[in-house]
Amino acid sequence: MTDFDTIPETALAWHRAGRRAALATVTQTWGSAPRRVGAQLAIAGDGAIEGSVSGGCVEGAVIVEALEALEAGVARELEFGVSDQDAFAVGLACGGTIRVLVEPVGSALPEPLLAELCAARAARQAVAYVADLDSGARRLDHSGHETRFRMDRSGFEEESRTFVAIHNPPLRLLVVGAVHIAQALVPMARIAGYDPVLIDPRAAFGSSARFPGETILDDWPDEALAKLGLDARTALVLLTHDPKLDDPALEAALRSEVFYIGALGSTRTHAKRVARLTAEGFTEAEIARIHAPVGLDIGAASPAEIAVSVLAQMVRVLRQGA
């Protein structure tokens, strides 16, 4: 999990420990805003913080406002921008404007609702936190925001003062085949915010010496995927070239909601793969979900360059759709 994945949980823990807490959330951005909509900062009553709403630009001002909001017990909406008279003082001299919603836990943000949000996150359930900034009403939605869930995009509903904060499960990358490309792809994916898992029943490949500190499963791929579970926040990359390993994993993935499926191999290799899957009863549309040859066509040659192309393609599919 990335550094910013436990912010609601931290705020809840601080509140329950008697330290008081507020959650600050970016609700809108214009121009060169350093963090995207939905980014959060937890502020404790003693001034401790976790997370970021601007990469450090306006955190000081947000902390002051959050402490005042805790005293008043009401939510606050803040705006910072380069056109403001005190823009340089709050750190946005590089340009851009952001709006931030500050919610004290226990008043503006009810503790039971925050606890329910944290429980859904722990269970890898996608959930939307919906705040009506006019009425003050707050709720959680598990459906009804399909486009926002798929694009991982928080924001205001059109022509309204209803803000929707998307809380998706952490991204996962399941790699079948502990080969040279995987040695480059796994650390790159971790930097990009993915939680990677390597799957390879061949002990000589999936060793801790080759992948120090990584999670490695020596099960057959279909068995490993059944244990791990496959959901819409999971990417699957197949790197073995071996149908005995790749095909069972592919069949499981095609029956799931994983957002990305990539398979290593030439055009000829993929044609044979398509024929096998067709014989197993998969439709043309289902098979078309497989990105093969895997990765964007950037002329990659080395294992590291291929890993770059694969990660770039994963990000494109996640953010823009297939």
pLDDT score recorded for residue 86:
46
In this model, does residue 147 exceed pLDDT 90?
Answer: no
- Give every strand in the sheet of 127-132, ordered side by side: 138-141, 127-132, 162-167, 155-156
Answer yes or no: do 141 and 201 share one domain: no
Answer yes or no: do 162 and 14 share one domain: yes
Confidence class for position 126, pLDDT limits 50, 70, 90? very high
Q: Last residue of some domain: 143, 167, 191?
A: 167
Instruction: Tell me the per-residue pLDDT of 162-199, one tens digit each, with 9 for 90 and over.
Output: 999 999 988 999 999 999 999 999 999 999 989 999 99
Instruction: Tell me the per-residue pLDDT of 262-280, one tens digit each, with 9 for 90 and over.
Output: 999 999 999 999 999 999 9
Answer yes or no: do 157 and 197 share one domain: no
Question: Taking all residues of the chain, what is their mean pLDDT, rounded to a whole number?
Answer: 91
Q: Last residue of some domain: 167, 196, 230?
A: 167
pLDDT score recorded for residue 170:
86
Give the CATH number, domain containing residue 303: 3.40.50.720
Q: Does 49 reside within a domain?
A: yes
In this model, does residue 25 exceed pLDDT 80?
Answer: yes
Q: Last residue of some domain: 167, 190, 213?
A: 167
Which tokens is 314 given? 């994963």
Confidence class for position 1, pLDDT limits 50, 70, 90? very low
The total of other beta-carbon atoms located within 10 Å of residue 32's CB is 11
Q: Strand pairing partners for 130?
A: 139, 164
Answer whether 97's CB lies under 8 Å from 131's CB: no
Answer whether 217's CB lies under 8 Å from 285's CB: no
pLDDT score recorded for residue 203:
84
pLDDT score recorded for residue 82:
53
Cα–Cα distance, 178 to 21 (Å, whole number): 44
Answer whether 67's CB lies under 8 Å from 47's CB: yes
Instruction: Tell me the per-residue pLDDT of 190-221, one tens digit each, with 9 for 90 and over.
Output: 999 899 999 999 988 988 889 999 999 999 99
Q: Does 1 reside within a domain?
A: no
Answer yes or no: do 189 and 204 share one domain: yes
CA distances from 101 to 42, 76, 265, 301 (A): 12, 6, 48, 47
Domain count, the chain: 2
